[in-house]
């Protein structure tokens, strides 16, 4: 049975009056006969738009968008999956849970194939094209390629396919979704978190371009996937031998290539991920130092405190008092 094709412009029944277009802050919660239960929260700022979208789908369907959009679209899929095809891009983007992408496809005619019987959760960000161009600079190959595409009016994606959402990204997304501030403070906090989130995304996209010409494209791709693996499994125990087997490169190439490509060693990068995560726990959660130490796998909290101070310059307790002041 062929899945029904729904027009994105027809999702909202005008008679429902659930979410007027371009309203600065708007929320909608309704049930669509084909899409299922839909919850949407839309926030507009001068140069960006943020939409927190959650669906409980019941049936398979295709969502077709006939509206041209000359903005930069940033998509974070937190739960569920969909397969997207954008007008002007030769490759399909299979969006899976905990992945993201960045695209610019001003032509109309985008399609998203969505399966029924799933909880789909996404954070969608729209960036003004000129604001984006003025923000990314042109001091690296990735930015130069993106700016050239924008100046020539060519559709593009940040990378071919998608990349994994990192722990740092997840914390920023949670801050955006759960922000309880009001008034100007809310506006400033959300915008700052969104821009930091996009900055982390762009930094992830730029990484493959940093590879030396002496490194093969195949080796660089394997190391990039290893980095993504570490970003989602940084709390696990790792050895160079096991990481080498995981990415299909010998230990020498993992050690040398990772440092060459990312500017740090494998285990220094793991340390950074763990300490950044510890900082997020100390900053945003009511956890004791012992609890944070335990989450990071330390047998003794004193060892964690020493490692944390060496990385940040502050003891965990001083760090808590510092951010609270």
Q: Which of 300, 306, 238, 305 is nearest to 269 (CA)?
A: 238
Chain mean position to CA 11? 25
Domain boundary among 207, 236, 271: 207
Higher pLDDT, 126 or 10: 126
- Same domain (yes/no): 167, 125: yes
- Same domain (yes/no): 179, 83: yes
Higher pLDDT, 31 or 217: 31
- Same domain (yes/no): 157, 299: no
Decide: pTM greater than 0.85.
Answer: no
- Same domain (yes/no): 197, 229: no
How many domains would you assign to the chain?
A: 2
Instruction: Give yes or no for residue 22 having a pLDDT over 60.
Output: no
Per-residue pLDDT tens digits for 47-93: 999 999 998 998 898 988 887 888 999 999 999 999 998 888 887 88
Q: How confident is the model at residue 317 (pLDDT cuts 50, 70, 90)?
A: confident
Instruction: Give yes or no for residue 110 having a pLDDT over 70.
Output: yes
Higher pLDDT, 5 or 26: 5
Q: Over the chain, what is the mean pLDDT?
A: 85
Q: How confident is the model at residue 322 (pLDDT cuts 50, 70, 90)?
A: low
Domain boundary among 207, 233, 266: 207
Lowest average pLDDT, out of 8-17, 180-189, 207-216, 268-277, goes to 8-17
Q: Which domain holds residue 252?
A: 214-324
Instruction: Give yes or no for residue 34 having a pLDDT over 60.
Output: yes
- Same domain (yes/no): 278, 232: yes
Distance CA 309, CA 288 (A): 16
**pLDDT for the residue 208:** 58
Q: Determine the length of the chain.
A: 325
Q: Which residues contact 185 (CB under 8 A, 6 or more apart)?
A: none
Q: Which of 53, 35, 30 is nearest to 43 (CA)?
A: 53
- Same domain (yes/no): 184, 232: no
**pLDDT for the residue 266:** 94
- Same domain (yes/no): 140, 14: yes
Q: Are residues 269 and 227 in contact, defined by beta-carbon separation less than 8 angstroms?
A: yes
**pLDDT for the residue 121:** 95
- Same domain (yes/no): 218, 201: no
- Same domain (yes/no): 69, 137: yes
**pLDDT for the residue 20:** 36
**pLDDT for the residue 10:** 65
CATH number of domain containing 253: 1.10.10.60
Half-sphere exposure of 69 (CA within 13 A, CB side): 21
Lowest average pLDDT, out of 173-177, 195-199, 201-205, 316-320, goes to 316-320
**pLDDT for the residue 171:** 87
Q: How confident is the model at residue 321 (pLDDT cuts 50, 70, 90)?
A: low
Instruction: Give yes or no for residue 325 having a pLDDT over 60.
Output: no
Instruction: Give yes or no for residue 211 having a pLDDT over 80.
Output: no
Instruction: Give yes or no for residue 267 having a pLDDT over 90.
Output: yes
Per-residue pLDDT tens digits for 229-256: 999 999 999 999 999 999 999 988 898 8
- Average pLDDT on 127-147 reads 89
Alpha-carbon dihedral 130, 136, 141, 142, rounded to 10 degrees: -80
Is residue 161 left, alpha or beta, with left meaning phi > 0 and alpha meaning psi from -120 to 50? Answer: left
**pLDDT for the residue 214:** 60
- Same domain (yes/no): 96, 245: no
């Amino acid at each position: 049975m062929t899945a029904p094709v729904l027009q994105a412009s027809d999702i909202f029944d005008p008679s429902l009056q659930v979410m007027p277009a371009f309203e600065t802050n708007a929320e909608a919660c309704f049930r669509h006969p084909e899409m299922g239960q839909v919850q949407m929260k839309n926030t507009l700022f001068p140069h960006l738009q943020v939409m927190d979208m959650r669906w409980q789908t019941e049936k398979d369907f295709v969502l077709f968008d006939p509206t041209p959009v000359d903005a930069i679209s940033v998509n974070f899929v937190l739960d569920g999956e969909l397969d997207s095809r954008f007008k002007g891009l030769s490759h399909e983007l299979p969006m899976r849970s905990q992945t993201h992408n960045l695209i610019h496809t001003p032509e109309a005619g985008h399609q998203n194939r969505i399966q029924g019987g799933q909880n789909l959760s996404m954070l969608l960000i729209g960036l003004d094209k000129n604001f984006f161009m003025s923000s990314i600079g042109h001091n690296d190959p990735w930015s130069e390629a993106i700016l050239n595409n924008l100046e020539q009016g060519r559709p593009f994606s940040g990378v071919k396919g998608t990349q994994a959402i990192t722990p740092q990204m997840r914390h920023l997304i949670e801050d955006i979704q759960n922000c309880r501030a009001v008034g100007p403070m809310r506006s400033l906090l959300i915008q700052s978190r969104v821009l930091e989130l996009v900055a982390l995304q762009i930094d992830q996209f730029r990484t493959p371009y940093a590879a030396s010409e002496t490194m093969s494209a195949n080796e660089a791709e394997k190391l990039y996937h290893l980095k993504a693996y570490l970003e989602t499994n940084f709390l696990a125990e790792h050895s160079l031998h096991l990481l080498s087997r995981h990415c299909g490169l010998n230990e020498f190439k993992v050690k040398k290539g990772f440092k060459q490509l990312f500017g740090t060693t494998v285990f220094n990068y793991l340390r950074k991920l763990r300490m950044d995560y510890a900082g997020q726990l100390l900053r945003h959660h009511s956890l004791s130092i012992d609890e944070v130490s335990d989450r990071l796998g330390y047998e003794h909290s004193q060892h964690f405190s020493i490692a944390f101070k060496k990385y940040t310059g502050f003891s965990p307790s001083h760090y808590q008092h510092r951010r609270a002041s």
